[in-house]
Structure 1
Amino acid sequence: MKTNSYQKENGIIKSVAELNRTLLLSRGEVRKLEEITKHHPMAVTPHYLNLIAPENPHDPIRKMAVPSAAELSLQGSFDTSGEKENTKLQGLQHKYAQTALILITNQCAMYCRHCFRKRLVGVAGEEIARDWSAIINYIEEHEEINNVLLSGGDALTVSTATLEAILERLVEIPHLSYIRIGSRIPVVQPSRINDDDELIQMLRYHGRRKRIYLTTRFNHPLEISQESREAIQRLQRAGLVVNNQAVLLKDVNEDPDIMAELMTSLTRIGVVPYYIFQCRPVRRVKDAFQISLPQAADIIDQVRNRLDGLSKRFRFIMSHKTGKIEILGRNGNQMFFKYHQAKEPALAGRIFSKEVDLDEGWFNCQDDDEDDLLPCQE
C-alpha cells in the first residue's frame, strides 16, 4: 500500500492508537478497529475529529469516520454501479453520453466508512488516470460529452499545480460547457481551501474560461462548521457554483428532522441540494449504513414535507448499473421509479413500478427478469 502523501503532510490520524488518544476506546473496540483497518484503512482529519462528541458512542459524525464491527460483513459487492464496464481508458469512465468521469487520485483527506469506492480509495491505484494525452484525445473525439467530472478519491487532495494542469487542458476543449469537481474537502479539511490563496486564484481564473461546479458531500448538519461555511464562501466568491450530494445513511441522517435541517442549512449558505442517494450495497458498507427502499422512500417524503421549494430541489436517486433511477415514492409494497439518467437511451425518462419487499435495499439484475431493460429485484 502506497503512502498517502496528502495525509502525511496534513497530520491526518491513521492509526487506532492515535484515535484512542481522543475517543478513549475500550480494549475490545481497539481490537475490532485494528482488525477492520487491516482490510480498509482509516484516516480522520483533525478538523473532523473535533466534530465528534467523544462521550457519545452513537455520534453520527463518529459513525462516518470511525470503523465499526459491521464493516466485517461481506454482503454486497465492490462495484455496485458498473464502473468497470463503463471504463474506456484507465481512469476514464463514460457511462452517460454527456458526461466523462475521470478518477484523478485514490487519495482522500478522510476515508469515509460509507464510501462506495471502497475497492480503491486509499488501497489501489490501478484505476487512476495516468495517460492524460489519451484521455484528452478521447474527450476531444467524443463531441457528445459536454461536461467532465473530476473525482477519485477526492479531487482537491491533489496539489494545486496538478489540478491546474488538468483544468488547463480541459478548458481548451470547445464542446465542454462546464467542468465539475467532486470533493468532501469543504466538509473534512476546509483549511485546504481557506489557507490556499493560490488554489482560489487558480479556480477563479479557469472558472472565467469555463464554468466550474464543485459538488460537496455534506451528510449531516453538524458537518457545516464555521470553517466549512468560510470555505464554501471562498469558493462562491471565486465564481464556482457549489451543490451538494448527500447519502441517506442509517444511524446518521435517517431522522427526517435531521435531513430536513441539512437541506435547509445548505440552502442558507447558497449550496444547492442536488442529490440524496440511496446507500449502495457496497461490501463492508451495506450492513452498516443501508436503509430499505420502502423505509427510505417514507423518510424522504417526510423530509420534503418539512421543506420549502428551494430546499427540496434534490432528487432521491439510486445510482444503479443501468442508470440514475429516481425513487418517486410508494403505495404499500408497490414503488414508483423514473430513469433520471440512463446508460441505454431506450430507458431515458422511463417511469416504472415494482413490488418491493420491506427489507429490500437495492435492485439486483437477473437474467430471468420479464423486462430485460429494467432492473430487477433481489
Structure 2
Amino acid sequence: MSTNAADEDRFPAVEELPQLIEKVLADPDMTKSVESHVRWVEGTLKRALKREDFRTQYGKSLRDLLGPGATALCEMTDNGELRVQELTTPPKHVTASQRRRSSILRRLASAAGVPSGAISYPKPTPKPTVPAWARSELHNRIRHEVDRKPSAPGRARLLVVVSLVLDTAARTGELCSIGIVDLAPDLSWVKITRNPQAHGGDLRVTEVWPVSPITQAALANWLPVRGLLVEDLQGGAGALLVVLHGNRVFHGQGAYKRGMPLRVHGLIDSYQAHAKELKAEVTNRGGSGWELPKNLEQLRRGVQERRASYDTDRQAGAKTPQWGPAVVLNPLLPEELEKKKTAAAFGKVAQAVDAFHQAREAAGDETDPQVLRARRTLRDATRLAWARSDHATTLKLLQQAKLANDDLPAAGYNEVLLDALERT
C-alpha cells in the first residue's frame, strides 16, 4: 500500500526521512562509497514504510523509526524480506551487508538526535588464510605460468594481481589505485598508497615496495596486453589494472568501456572467475598443487600475518628476513628532512650519469665490468629518484644530466613502460 497525504500527516517520519537523508549526505567528508550505502538504506526504509503494519507501528516519529523500527528493519532483512527483487536464495548469516546497514542506521539516528535500535552484529569469523608453505608453492606455480607468457588478458592480469599481493599485501582498493606512474623505471619497485581504513585516520602513507623477479616478469608480460586494451580510449589511460570487456551497465561515471580503470568489485569478481579458470586449466594439463584461495582477501591476510610474524621474530632476536617497503613517503615527517633526502637522491642521479659516461669512454665496450657497474649504479640512483618524486621529474633530471634518450635503458627504463607513460 502506498502512502498518501493523509498518511504523511499521521506518520511524520515518512516525510521527515528524506530531509534527514539529505542532511546526512551534506557532510563534506562523506565518500562516494558511504553515500551509496546511505541511499541503499534509504531505499530499504522506504520499502518498509510502504507496509501498513510497519508504518503504523514505527512511522509516527524518527525516534520510533530509527529506534525500535531499526531493530525491526534489521530482523526483517535478516529473514530475507524487503529485497529489491524476489530471490529464492535463503538469507545468509552475518554478512558485511548487515553490518554496513546497521552502521548507516546508527549514523541516521545520530544525525536525528535519537537513540538507535540497529542491531550490533559481530564480525564474521575470517576465512582461513593460505599457509606459508602454500604461498611459497604458489610463487613457483606463478613463475611457471609467467614463463609461458600468457596472452589471454584475464590470465595476464590475474598473475600481476596475485604476484603484487604476495609481495606487498596490498588490499583490493590499493591494487585498483596503482597507476602506470607507480611502477619503477625497471619494474622492480611499486608505489602503494595505503587506504586510511586499513590503518585508521585520514593519513595516506605511500610505501615503495620492492617486488620479486616473478612480479617483474608478470608486469612486463601484462603491459603490452594492457596497451592493446587502452588504445581505443579517449584521453589518458593511467591505471595499471584495466577492464577487459565493456558493458552497457551505467555506473555513476558512465558505462564501463574496455581499458577503463578496474574497480574494486570488478577486481573481486574477476579474481574469483579467473582463479577458478586457471586452477581448472592447470588440472587439465596434468598439474596440481595450486592453493589459490577463493577470495583475494584470504591471500592478503596470509601474507600480512607472515609479515607480522617476521617483525615479531626479529624483535625477539631471530635472524628472519626483513620484509618491508624500500621507501616510505610519510606526510608526518619533517618537510625539510624530506627535501634533503630528495635533493640527495637527485644529486646521485647526476653523479651516476657522469660516472656512466666516463666508464664508457674509458672502456669502449658495453660489456666491460666497469661499464656494467656504472649502469647498475645509474639504475639504482634513477629508481630512488623516481621513488621520491615521479617519472616526469626523473626523466627531466636524466635529460639535464645529458643522458640521451637512446641510453634510457641504461638508467633502467623499461621500453614497454615508456610507451605506457607516453600514452598516459
Give the structure-1-normalised TM-score.
0.26
Which of the two has higher C-alpha Rg?
2
Q: Which has the higher helix share?
A: 2
Q: Provide the TM-score with structure 2 as the length reference.
A: 0.24
